[in-house]
Amino acid sequence: MRQQYARRTQALTSVLGFIALAIIVQMTRIQNSAEAVIFSQQAQNYAYELKTFYPDRGEIYDRNGRLLAGNKTVYEIGVDLNTVRDPHAVAFAVSAELNMDYNQILDGINNPPQGLSYIVIADFIEAQQAFNLQELKRALQEQAAEGTLGGLTGLQFKAHPQRSYPEDALASNVIGFVTREGRGYFGIEGKYDTLLSGNAVQVLVPTDPNKAFEIPRVQNGTTLILTINRDLQSAAEEILDSALLTYGAQGGAIAVMDPRNGEMLAMAASRRMDLNQFWNYNVIFDKSSEFDTAISKPYEPGSVMKILTMAAALDSGTVTPDTSYLDTGSILIGGVTIQNWDQQPWGVQNMVGCLQHSLNVCMVTITSQMGAGIFYDYMNAFGFGHLTGVDMEGEVSGRLKVPGDADWYPVDLGTNSFGQGVTATPMQMMMAVSSIANNGRMVMPHTLYAMVRDGRQYNVPAQFAGSPVSEATADTLSEMLAVSLESEASLALVPGYRIAGKTGTAQIPVNGFYDSAQTNTSFVGWGPVDDPQFMIYVWLERPSESIWGSETAAPVFAEMAEKTVILLDIPPDYIRQQLVAK
């Protein structure tokens, strides 16, 4: 009995051992078979999923923390073709909610492209619409009989961010826009596109939750803080719109800058677009230069240029404020007779009178005395013919013809002195004139105040583009311009504040000839004269109510300056001087 039991045990052990051995052999065989490589490869395909992690685009704020460009969640709505149960229900629900064509959706679900298991029905759907569909899907699932699937099974929602502009069209020319492909165009969005968008990270994400730690950290795009003051921007746009109506102008721009450091506080353009509907770009703008006229549309600035001609003359020692000359109403230069704006002689004038009455003959006279070499050296130092480097996409430089150029003629020296035959953008003019307002130091205009990355804020320092004239020249000229405005009781004057500035009226060339009925009117001014805190440039294109800058651009400047001193809390001169005295 005992031996029999032992034999049975041995037999059973042998059988089990053989089975175990067979299993091990089989496992080893399978592990090392040719198919194992294929299976391993297939498993590897499912072990990881290639995912792209897109960073959120950096936000854009104004200098006081008002959000100008942010992100909102929108949804991609699609259908999982493997799990969809009722294509009719899906097509009906989506077409009703999103106002889409029922048959088109149904056809897309029933006849998908070969090899696809998921199709996109609609993208960039507002959160509320997606929420309504999600609720409907949930309700249908709850109503479905136990063990069955709801009618909208297979309908899927994928959230992703989309650029959003809470201020709609405000400062649209400064901000620019982002397309649905995520690329920035114009303004800040275009200039700082790489910084704002950040870097997408593409990684193989393991489907094994054990390896969840491999999910990478995606650094969001850099957040930017602009120098723009939202309220001042709003006021500038309102004033510009009103001025276009009042004076019948076809276009224009108003720009406000801090002349001490080049910070752009406001930049209004006559054509603006709701940035949330960027697809209307082609409807609103005929040319890209119209998006932000202050930086991308050079024009002949006219008499505002006389500030710089006079600066060159004073700084080079050609004239002093008291230098007098006899204005005969016309002067011959390069074989062409140049006349004053009123074609009248103004008799004996000093340099203040020359600026006050905006005498072309005076400018031609002193430029002739200065010589072309000195004059163009100064104009080059003021930055004409070059880009200002303002940090916005789309800047264009104007043209300054100089001796030696094929199309430069001696008469150009005369016409350039009063701002004709030379083109510049309002931004270039502001940059050049900032040297007069800022004690001889020319600032580089910029719109970026700071950037925030990794929780740290980097403030952008002010940059200067040299000193084309001395401090003494700048101070003298500021005083001359202030006196000339006060003497003529200019419409640009602002009660309580001493202002320096100059009007400009430039005829527009039509078919090769200047048309006296069509002008660009401008005004550049800054204040308070003894401590300049703002500089304003006004440009009105082809005003129909009056062709003169003194009657159109000057009052617009005054209106803008009044708003500026209120919004920037700049007290009237007598109060400020009392504060300084204390």
Partner 1 sequence: MNIPNVTHYIHAYKVAPWRIQRQWIGSALLAVVTLAMVAALYLIVTSHAAIAGREIQDLTYSITLSQQVSGDLQTQLASLTSASAMESRALELGFRPMESDEVEYLVVPGYSEPDPFILSASQGLQLSALTIAPQYNQSLLDWMDEKISSSQGMQ
Binds partner 1 by CB under 8 A, chosen from 32, 213, 335, 404? 213
| Furthest C-alpha separation in the chain | 148
Size of residue set near partner 1 by CB under 8 A: 57
Task: Based on the shown chain and the rule CB under 8 A, indicate whether residue 373 belongs to the binding site for partner 1.
Answer: no
Q: What is residue 459's three-state secondary structure?
A: strand
By CB under 8 A, residue 545 contacts partner 1: no
Per-residue x/- track, 127-146, partner 1 (CB under 8 A): x-------------------
Contact window for partner 1 (CB under 8 A) among 39-47, 140-148, 211-219, 420-428 = 211-219
Chain centroid to Cα 87, Å, comes to 45
Where helices occur in 149-229 by DSSP H, the ranges are 172-175, 187-191, 193-197
Residues 172, 173, 223, 434: which binds partner 1 (CB under 8 A)?
A: 223
Residue type, 159: A
Kindly write down the DSSP assignment for every residue of 40-63, as one continuous string: HHHHHHHHEEEEEEPPPPPPEE-T
DSSP 468-520: SS-HHHHHHHHHHHHHHHHHTT-TT-BTTB--EEEEEEEEEEETTEEEEEEEE
- Asked if residue 217 binds partner 1 (CB under 8 A), the reply is yes
Nearer to partner 1 (CB atom), residue 163 or residue 191: 163
Is residue 166 part of the contact set for partner 1 (CB under 8 A)? yes
Task: Say whether residue 46 binds partner 1 (CB under 8 A).
Answer: no
Q: Which of 45, 46, 65, 580 binds partner 1 (CB under 8 A)?
A: 65
Nearest alpha carbon to residue 437 among 351, 531, 502 = 531
Q: Pick the closer one to partner 1 by CB: 169 or 411.
A: 169
Give every CB contact of residue 3 below 8 A, 6+ residues apart in sequence. none
Q: Which of 80, 214, 405, 531 binds partner 1 (CB under 8 A)?
A: 214
Q: Is the distance from CB of 265 to CB of 484 less than 8 angstroms?
A: no
CB of 497 to partner 1, least distance (A): 9
Among 56, 97, 290, 530, binds partner 1 (CB under 8 A): 56
What is the Cβ-side half-sphere exposure of residue 532, based on CA atoms within 13 angstroms?
31
By CB under 8 A, tell whether 371 contacts partner 1.
Answer: no
CA dist 473 to 252, 431, 438, 478, Å? 31, 17, 11, 8
* Beta-carbon contacts of residue 162 (< 8 Å; ≥ 6 apart): 71, 72, 73, 74, 124, 180
Give the nearer residue to partner 1 in terms of CB position, either 127 or 200. Answer: 127
Question: Which residue of 329, 334, 389, 496 would you call a contact of partner 1, by CB under 8 A?
Answer: 496
Stretch that binds partner 1, among 254-262, 280-288, 471-479, 567-575 (CB under 8 A): 567-575
Closer residue to partner 1, CB minimum distance, 64 or 280:
64
**Locus of tokens 């704002």:** 196
Encoding tokens for residue 329?
Answer: 């109403």
Smallest separation, CB 481 to partner 1 (Å): 22
Query: Any contact of residue 577 with partner 1 (CB under 8 A)?
Result: no
Q: Helices 306-315 & 426-437, crossing angle to 10 degrees?
A: 40
Establish if 1 lies at the interface with partner 1 (CB under 8 A): no
Mark the segment that binds partner 1 (CB under 8 A) among 316-324, 347-355, 428-436, 560-568. 560-568
Per residue in 304-340, is it b (16+ CB within 10 Å) or e — as a string?
A: bbbbbbbbbbbbbebbebebebebeeebebeeeebeb
Q: Computed from CA positions of residues 167, 268, 388, 473, in that sequence, does the dihedral angle turn out positive or negative?
A: negative
Residue 284 structure tokens: 């609103």
Q: Shortest gap between Cβ of 64 and partner 1 (angstroms)?
A: 6
Scanning residues 430 to 459, which ones bind partner 1 (CB under 8 A)?
449-450, 452, 454-457
Compute the CA torsion angle 547, 553, 554, 557 (nearest 10 deg).
Answer: 170
66 lies in the binding site for partner 1 (CB under 8 A): yes
- The correct pick among 24, 204, 215, 336 for binding partner 1 (CB under 8 A) is 215
Among 178, 225, 307, 547, binds partner 1 (CB under 8 A): 225
* Window of 65-73, 173-181, 332-340, 431-439 that interacts with partner 1 by CB under 8 A: 65-73
Structure tokens at 69: 């460009």
211 near partner 1 (CB under 8 A): yes
Q: Which is nearer to partner 1, 214 or 471 (CB)?
A: 214
Closest to 506 in 3D by CA, of 555, 548, 537, 544: 548
Name the residues that contact partner 1, by CB under 8 A: 56, 59, 61-67, 70-73, 127, 159, 161, 164, 166-168, 170, 208-217, 223, 225, 227, 230-231, 233-234, 449-450, 452, 454-457, 494-496, 562, 565-566, 569, 571-572, 575, 579, 582
